[in-house]
Structure 1
């Protein structure tokens, strides 16, 4: 029987879009920035910037580490598509879904690390933790079975 994502697992996968993937704080009165899949929310002054606008309208000459954000979004969307295929068609390779979540988590860790080396800034990679927990909790058992089938 092929592995597949059930409804509850798919809902958990979708809920990752609702949590901030990174929380960036500025110690010199700059407030806090919450990085989501869809964009940024700044607290000082309160405003939201969608990811499309951030990359294609408002910003030029971005530092290289910022590109970890859209990479993690693409990996997350790939995991959602893989989970959806598993839910609807019953055909999913959990190594793909879980692997994409792990790559998205590593990309978010890279973003937070490189943001934090700048003076007066700190980033908390909540998305890394969330992606790794979901990959381990939902997809690792099935992926482990698949690995064992291949190597036995």
Structure 2
């Protein structure tokens, strides 16, 4: 079959056109879900020599001994003189919210800038690595940067395919 006899990939009479649209829609939903799941998993697990652990989420802190939740807003409102490494946490949340906004716009309009979403996730991961590093330099404390790995993992797995002009949504599916 010669190139001139083939229909263009975006032709509406192409038999693959409906499947292509549903694949893009499915890919968009998967990306949105993958990014939103990051809001409910701990980004950092902070452990102490004397026992106990604190889980850092993008929305707040969960301390298990005693069981207590502190929202990010309360944490920032009622604490003063925070070291720079702790300020990396809300900065990471801001980067994450950029990623959520980008993928949500993509889900609503079909026009996500996957590069923006991926970079925002990577930067959010870097901030969580800095939080864990700073916390772990304190005597008797260790922080496990689970969020950095998860944020980078989603950025790599979901956004590893190059943006293709014919798909326009960055999921690599045609």
**Hey, what's the Cα distance between the residues in 1 that align with 2:103 and 2:94?**
14
2:115 to 89, 95, 100: 95
Report the structure number with the largest CA radius of gyration: 2
Gaps of 5+ in 1: 147-152
Residue among 14, 32, 38 paired with 1:16:
38
Which residue does the alignment assign to 2:75?
54
Question: What do the CA deviations read for 1:57-113 (whole angstroms, capped 9, x no partner)?
Answer: 2x1111111010001100001000000111111112111000000000000000001
3-state DSSP class of the match of 1:141?
Answer: coil
> Which SS does the other structure have where 2:162 is aligned?
helix
Q: State the alpha-carbon separation in 2 of the partners of residues 51 and 10 from structure 1.
A: 23
5+ residue gaps, structure 2? 1-9, 11-23, 166-174
TM-score by length of 2: 0.77
Output the CA distance in 1 between the equivalents of 2:136 and 2:69. Answer: 21
TM-score for both structures, normalised by structure 1: 0.88
Given that 1:94 and 1:140 are in contact with CA atoms closer than 8 Å, whether structure 2 keeps it comes out as no
Partner of 1:45: 66
* Number of residues of Structure 1 aligned to a counterpart in Structure 2: 142
- Paired position in structure 1 for 2:158: 138
User: SS of the residue aligned with 2:150?
Assistant: helix
- Which has the larger helix fraction? 1
Higher relative contact order (CA 8 A, sep 6+): 1
Aligned-residue RMSD, C-alpha: 1.7
CA apart distance, 1:44: 1.4
CA contact (8 A) 1:115 1:123 kept: yes
Among candidates 66, 81, 85, match of residue 105 of structure 2: 85
List 4+ stretches of structure 1 deviating above 3 A: none
